Chains A and B, each alone.
Chain A
Amino acid sequence: MQAAGEAAPVFATAAPRFDAKWLIIAACVVLTLYLGMVPLAFLLWQSFFTPQSAAKAAVFTFGNYREAYGSADTWLLFGNSLRFATGAAALSFAIGTLLAWMNERTNTPFKGLFFALSVIPLIIPGILFTVAWILLGSPKIGIINLALQRLFDTDAVFINVYSLGGMVWVDGLHYSPVAFLLMTAAFRAMDPALEESAIMSGASVLQVVRRVTLPLAWPAVFATLLILFVRAIESFEVPALLGLPVGLQVFTSAIYQAVHRYPSQIGLAAAYAVTLLAMTSVGVYLQSRLSSSGSKYATMTGKGFRPRTIDLGPWRYLTMAVFLAYFLFIVVLPFMVLLWSSLQKFYAVPSMEALSRLTLDPYRTIIAYPNLLRAVWNSLLLAVASATIIMLVTAVICWIVVKTRLPGRWLLDNFASLPMVFPGIVLGLAIMILYLTIPAGIYGTIWIMLIAYVTRFMPYGLRYNTTSMLQIHKELEESAAMSGASWTTTFWRIILPLLKPGLVAGWIYIVIVSIRELSSSILLYSPGTEVVSIVIWELWENGQYVELSALGVMLILALFVLVLAAQWLGRQFGIREL
């Protein structure tokens, strides 16, 4: 507390009496630590025990670590995971950043339209996106291969999704919106004066990007790469559907197999997950070093600024072409595949024969699906509530981490970040067992899912806020305090509005991923608290792919409207000209 006072001495003098500030800060810190610690403690504790069954009680052991790390298999899987995650993160980053830069920093025509379109890949459930790419890029039935083969009259295989390259491509594309959203927030809050000076001094657009824009956005770049990499490491669908058929297994397969044995080897899965925890901790620690390098990256100062765009001249048609290419190949193609299969009785390669079988039955089945409306309502409720809670709480946490000199604050950051790598099922189990044991009455209700969602997505909220927070210069809150504003007022009236780019981007992201969340929902839901992702999983398990495609199409359209609305609302309540 003393250290916090030192960092912002103005507050200490301005608020000698009781201040709501401490209450808010304490509440946020306690909540974060509680949410982060519970699964962490469970995971570490479990990793030292043998599986429990009626016949054999659990005993203390180091065997899980021996089994997890003593075998060469693990390291081979780990190598595969690293290559896959590095590739996927790099691809997502490149695509997302390019789009964000074009959208925020250039005068590309029609770019306003593209924001909402850019997040579509994220909206498509992972399973569907992957299957859509199988149907596009399989060597045997892939539409792209079939079309090119007909065009060039050859049997050659042009693209093959069943390869490491294919996995990187599909996963990288799917998560490029994460980079897009994060980098959009970063670019939006960046003072263009520096870029303008560079242009005035005769630098080319490329030079400006390389020497000014990206270095200034370095904390955001780092946060984005961290989040993309860690997420790709724990990715499951793409490796299972594209890697397995050709024998490419990754680390998460080992975790999955451990959990699915009987008795369930939660301890072994936990021992595997410890590596992921360690890697994330290193990443978070490095990022905290960036954060503490002071106001180097803060371009949002007391001087008014308007993030103006760079005039690309005739090049803007090139960037528009890039946008169009992105939409055709990344958004429209998979969407068309979904639309096509949603109109079929079973999936068939497009042909005249299949065309004669078009039907709206899948849509009828979906609309009549038991509990669908309730599931949609629950999902919306959970998504909006968890996104809002997370963004507000992590804004406070991130203020502590970035703006104060509190010792050990990076640990706070770390605790809040670790849930990112808990295998979803371990997180679900930890929460389930905790609330079955303590009679809080929330087991079996929607609240337990809210807790799971907030825990699971807190790390993302934190990253989104951190990138924006780093760009806000301290002088802004100092002047507010000088003018007599309390901390609470400053936070509400100055910090939050300035954080808006990160807040909105993070909010949108969390809403979307909450609607897709499956691995903990599937353990924690009860009759009455079904969510949309469960329905998706159901349809997948039942093999109702055409119905699933129909739901996918409806979901994409609905979320698309939601994103547009959020963007519009953001404009209504945001700072003008930002």
Chain B
Amino acid sequence: MLRALALLFFSVAAAAANRDVYLYQGADREARLIAGAKQEGQVVLYSTMTVQDGRALAAAFEKKYGVKLLHWRGSAEKIVQRALAEAKSSHDGADVFETSSHRMEALYREMLLEDFYTPAFAELSPAAFPKGHRQYVAARFAFFVLGYNTRLVKPAELPASYEDLLHPRWAGRLAIESTDVLWFAALVKAMGEEKGLAFFRRLAAMKPQIRSGHILGAQLVASGEIPLFVDAYNNNMETLKKAGAPVDWKPLAPAYGQASAIGVAKHSRRPHAALLFTEFLLSREGQEFFKRVNRVPASLAVDTPLNKFPHEIIDPAIALDEGEKWDRLWSQLFLGGKPVEREE
């Protein structure tokens, strides 16, 4: 009991001290940050970015600041589960989190994150910031676009709007990713709920293939299994296109994207290093790196062909607050939720 109280006291004290570090804006900010980080020696990152990307970033970060980066790679929900379990027992875990924004929103609601400031904010797209706080900001985006096989889809027949997807020529030639409930929710809301749902009901009647996995979907477009992938990620299609696969992509308006966001841990044991790395990733250097590995950087200062169209970022709160509603609708439309009732 005493130990628990002591732990609680120290973590409250540490969290308060961390907040000061994270929000400090004095003239000696950079010098203090670097000196503090050097003393802390390393930073632990829980992130969904690939191990190869993590390794490359670690090398660049270490070269620049002499601070080691330890990257634990996990899927978004594993990161949340691990962070929650570790926080409960005050385990010395992550200093920085980087993953899908709606999972970051979950970490925020679980009070595992903290507000922070970095001058790099100035160059980020306005879409990168959540409403009302700065506990996480987007570091990169992924946009939902049409992905298609250039041998199986003639340029002339390419849809110009979502409505065009309902043309009879697409019956049986479309594919949809099985988990894109957020994209569905955002689009329905944009079209107006009634009209939007009517559109998706008609889309479901086209009997699209339901595929799990965006990357698998993109690969199957390349191999010819899928002629037109309705909700492909543009960076996946771009990567394949560069490798010489017969694929291309096209955004339809309104185009939606999902953000991958970064945030610092409230109870980090290494707050200087945590903030220094976060700043590094959001700075020109980190954002250029994302561009090099075919991601869409959140910084407007880095030029990329992958965001040259009007777009909006899906509000991560939809997933948490209206998740069940949209899940249910989605499942009824595309995952055979409805037939269940008919059989009785």
Evaluate whether A436 and B86 lie within 8 angstroms (CB atoms) in the complex, with A244-B210, A545-B219 already known: yes
Contact across chains for B85 and A433 when beta carbons are under 8 A apart: yes
Q: Which residue of B lies closest to A240 (CB)?
A: B212
Which stretch of A197-205, A345-353, A450-458 is in the interface? A345-353
B49 closest partner in A (C-beta): A542
Q: A245-B211, A370-B51, A543-B215 are in contact. Are A432 and B82 (CB under 8 A)?
A: yes
A residues near B240, Cβ cutoff 8 Å? 346
Interface string of A176-219 (1 = CB under 8 A from B): 00000000000000000000000000000000000000000000
Q: Which residues of the partner chain B approach A534 to less than 8 Å between Cβ atoms?
A: 73
- The answer to the question of A363 belonging to the interface, with a C-beta cut-off of 8 Å to chain B, is no
Cβ of A538 under 8 Å from chain B? yes
Contacts of A347 in B (CB 8 A): 219, 222-223
**For window 76-131 of chain B, which residues contact chain A by CB distance below 8 Å?**
77-78, 80-82, 85-86, 88-89, 91, 102-103, 106, 109-111
Binds B, one of A150-158, A167-175, A255-263, A390-398: A255-263
Contact B212 A76 (CB under 8 A): no
* Contact call A76/B70, Cβ cutoff below 8 A: no
Select B111's contact among A54, A73, A262, A526, beta carbons within 8 Å. A54
Distance in Å: Cβ of A465 to nearest Cβ of chain B: 34
Q: Mark B313-344, 1 if CB is under 8 A from A, else 0.
A: 00000011001100100000001110111011
A9 at the interface (CB under 8 A from B): no
Q: Fill in one digit per residue for A521-543: 1 if any B CB lies within 8 Å of its CB, else 0.
A: 01101110000001100100111
Complex Cα distance A568/B39, Å?
54
Contact assessment for A72 and B224 in the assembled complex, using a CB-CB cutoff below 8 Å:
no
Contacts of B212 in A (CB 8 A): 240-241, 244
Q: Which residue of B89, B106, B178, B323 is within 8 Å of A437 (Cβ)?
A: B89
Q: How many A-B residue pairs have CB under 8 A?
A: 127
Q: B278 near A: Cβ within 8 Å?
A: no
B78 to A543, Cβ gap below 8 A?
no
Interface size on A, residues (CB 8 A): 53
The smallest beta-carbon distance between B24 and chain A, in angstroms, is 26
Q: How far is the CA of A260 from the CA of B212 in the complex (A)?
A: 15
Which residues on B sit within 8 Å (CB–CB) of A523? Answer: 74, 78, 81-82
- Assuming the contacts A54-B111, A138-B225, A543-B216, asked whether A522 and B211 have C-beta atoms less than 8 A apart, the reply is no
B52 touches A369 (CB 8 A): yes
Q: Does B75 sit within 8 A of A, measured CB to CB?
A: yes
Contact present for B337 and A73 (CB under 8 Å): yes
Bound complex: CA A225 to CA B327 (Å):
36
Q: Give the distance in Å from the alpha carbon of A526 to the alpha carbon of B224 in the complex.
A: 39
Question: Are A443 and B91 in contact, with the CB atoms below 8 A?
Answer: yes
Is B26's beta carbon under 8 Å from chain A? no
> Range of interface residues on chain B?
35 or more
Interface presence of A264 (CB below 8 A): yes
Other-chain contact of A357, B52, B244, B327 (Cβ < 8 Å):
B244
- Say yes or no: is A141 at the interface (Cβ < 8 Å to chain B): yes
Given the known inter-chain contacts A370-B51, A436-B89, please indicate yes or no for A345 contacting B224, CB distance below 8 A: no
Contact of B50 among A72, A526, A527, A542 (CB under 8 A): A542
**Which residue on B lies nearest to A357, using beta carbons?**
B244
What 1/0 flags go to B236-276 for Cβ under 8 Å of A?
A: 10011001110000000000000000000000000000000
- CB of A23 within 8 Å of the partner chain: no
Interface residue A429 (Cβ < 8 Å from any Cβ of B):
yes
Instruction: Name the contact of B210 in the complex, choosing from A72, A76, A245 (C-beta under 8 A).
Output: A245
Q: Mark B24-50, 1 if CB is under 8 A from A, else 0.
A: 000000000000000000001000001
Whole-angstrom distance between the Cβ of B68 and the nearest chain A Cβ: 10
Report the minimum CB–CB distance from B107 to chain A (whole Å): 10
In angstroms, Cα B54 to Cα A346, docked, is: 23
> Which of chain A's residues have a CB closer than 8 A to the CB of B80?
262, 264
Q: How far is the CB of B192 from chain A (nearest CB, A)?
A: 27
Within the complex, what minimum Cβ distance (angstroms) separates B236 from chain A?
Answer: 6
B residues within 8 A CB of A241?
212, 216
Task: Report whether B219 and A346 are in contact in the complex, using a CB–CB cutoff of 8 Å.
Answer: yes
Asked if A141 contacts B224 (CB within 8 A), the reply is yes
Is B109 within 8 A of A55, CB to CB?
A: yes
User: Min CB distance, B312 to chain A, in Å?
Assistant: 22
The interface residues of chain B lying within 8 Å CB-to-CB of A364 are none
A345 and B85 contacting across the interface, CB-CB below 8 Å: no
B198 to chain A, nearest CB (A): 21
Q: Which residues from chain B contact A369 at a C-beta distance below 8 Å?
A: 51-52
Q: Do the beta carbons of A264 and B77 come within 8 Å of each other?
A: yes
Is A2 engaged at the interface, CB distance under 8 Å to the other chain?
A: no
Interface string of A247-281 (1 = CB under 8 A from B): 10100000000011111100000000000000000
- Verify B110–A53 contact, CB threshold 8 A: yes
Question: Which residue of A259, A264, A370 has the most chain B CB atoms within 10 A of its CB atom?
Answer: A370
The listed residue with most A CB atoms (<10 A of its CB), out of B50, B81, B222, is B81
- Whether B245 contacts A346 by the Cβ 8 Å rule is yes
Chain B residues near A262: list those with CB within 8 A. Answer: 77, 80, 102-103, 106, 319-320, 323
Instruction: State in angstroms the CA–CA spacing of A245 and B229 once bound together.
Output: 13
6 contacts between A and B (CB under 8 A): A72-B341, A261-B323, A262-B102, A346-B244, A436-B91, A538-B50
- Beyond A245-B210, A245-B211, list 15 extra A-B contacts (CB 8 Å): A53-B109, A54-B109, A72-B343, A76-B343, A141-B224, A141-B225, A247-B336, A247-B339, A249-B336, A261-B323, A262-B103, A527-B44, A542-B50, A542-B215, A543-B216
Pairs A-B, 9 closest by C-beta atoms: A543-B215, A247-B336, A436-B89, A370-B55, A527-B70, A54-B110, A262-B106, A542-B50, A141-B225
